[in-house]
Chain A
Amino acid sequence: MTYTTHSESGTEALGAEFAKTLPAGAVVALYGDLGCGKTAFVRGMARGMGIDCVVNSPTFTIVNEYLGGEMPLFHFDMYRLGGADELYDIGWEDYLGRGGVCAVEWSENVPGAFEGDEIAVRFEKTGENDRTITIEGGPLTC
């Protein structure tokens, strides 16, 4: 399913709608270049999951944990990782078993990590503020 947003807040709103349909244990793999709205989308996801805390970029820390909603949201950023092998080093498998949602920015850096169970969200910049967002494999269909 493909969506078009025209602002950061539009991308955030789409993330919020999308997250409302997610089951515990869902892995959301985000793909797209710098400045495409991935973090804004995840901020929306947190709001959609009833989480009211600061959602900022986890590039440096690799993962931010957002608690306080019905289930936790684990916000990963693979920007600094060199490959799927390094997932072990960041404790990726431990997070999968914690009954929350994992949203993974820069999933292109860890090819083959998700074994096909993930929901892929692809971001494309189509104008200065316009983004085309394609969601594949998820429950949100309209």
Chain B
Amino acid sequence: MNILAFESSCDETAAAVVADGRTILSNEIFSQVALHEIYGGVVPEIAARSHLEVISLLADRALEKAGLARADIDAVACTYAPGLIGAVLVGVNFAKSAALALDKPLIPVHHIRGHIAANYLAYPDLEPPFLCLAISGGNTMLVDVRGYTDMRILGQTRDDAAGECFDKSARVMGLGYPGGKPIDDLSKQGDDRAYDLPRPAVNDGNPYDMSFSGLKTAVVNIAHHAQQTDEALDKPGLAASLCRAVSETLVGRTMDAAKALGYRSIAVAGGVAANSRIRADFEAACRKAGRTLYVPPLRLCGDNAAMIGAQGYYEYLAGHIAGPDLNAYATMEI
């Protein structure tokens, strides 16, 4: 079954064709750079209109790269929640029109479910149940994946996402945006015990909830203090200490949950999964605890449409089909 899938919930516009939920036939993503090349001039970083300008082109390109004609498409899937509403609407309406024109089923997909499904593309043998940690610039969520379309949030961040903690720390340290990669690179030259950073604990209620705002504030305080006292800031040390603090929180919560729920398989999803400290710590922890770790390659960690096509297949099998009245939602439970 060939699914033409769309993703437009935030900055990236993407179209892909995925066969049977597991095989990527094409996976096209529009970056700012490409947009500049085609249209020239300055394009706002976040613009529903920019999704609108490129989505049709991307759909054609996804079909072309897949070597398929429109008639070869069996269903159309799209992200319908959560995200920036104007942006999500572009993908939803385009997918709706495409489904109508092709006379094929329309499949709505939750964005975070898509991130989790990126693992199905990378690991043909992976099947639910498993535990998944979804970590990105906008999300930090521990999900109990009981079935392909049966999931429960075990815990999530109460304030900032893990990726946001990296981005904002990078800013006060004078590194670029997004901050994940520069901090990761710098941390490799630093001592991860150079600074004593807090491990923000959420003491009330859910034991799997997390918090990264206090950690961010601690980094800001250290950077400002160094500035005010003219003391040299040990940036590699701070980066390494930060990576350690974030990793210990994420890996610790996830391993606790895997133990409590008896999961043998642990998957990680989202852009922050690229962080080398987090990867290394997960590998070590899973080896020690005798659990299998799944981490998709970087190109499938960020926002893309192939992951929507993968999840779309399983939503279709579960009968989750939408009509032409499908709406987009800014906020929605997984």
Query: Which of chain B's residues 199-239 have a Cβ closer than 8 Å to chain A?
Result: 213-214, 216-217, 220-221
**Contact (Cβ within 8 A) B158 A60:** no
A101 at the interface (CB under 8 A from B): no
Q: Which B residues are CB-close (under 8 A) to A61? A: 10, 82-84, 138, 330
A91 at the interface (CB under 8 A from B): yes
B136 at the interface (CB under 8 A from A): yes
Q: Which A residues are CB-close (under 8 A) to B221? A: 35, 128
**Contact (Cβ within 8 A) B216 A90:** no
Query: Which of chain A's residues 76-112 have a Cβ closer than 8 Å to chain B?
Result: 80-82, 85-86, 89-91, 94
A5 at the interface (CB under 8 A from B): no
Query: Which of chain B's residues 11-51 have a Cβ closer than 8 Å to chain A?
Result: 44-49
List the one stretch of A17-25, A63-71, A114-122, A133-141 in contact with chain B: A63-71
**Contact (Cβ within 8 A) B138 A82:** no
**Contact (Cβ within 8 A) B46 A34:** no
B150 at the interface (CB under 8 A from A): no
Q: Tell me the B residues contacting A by CB distance below 8 Å.
A: 10, 44-49, 82-86, 136-139, 156-161, 163-164, 167-168, 171-172, 213-214, 216-217, 220-221, 330-331
The one of B10, B47, B158 in contact with A56, judged by C-beta atoms closer than 8 angstroms, is B158
Tell me the bound Cα distance from A80 to B167 in angstroms: 11
Can you sample 21 A-B contacts with CB below 8 Å? A34-B217, A43-B159, A54-B156, A56-B161, A57-B213, A59-B164, A59-B168, A60-B10, A60-B137, A60-B164, A61-B82, A61-B138, A63-B330, A65-B330, A81-B46, A82-B45, A86-B45, A86-B46, A89-B86, A90-B86, A91-B84
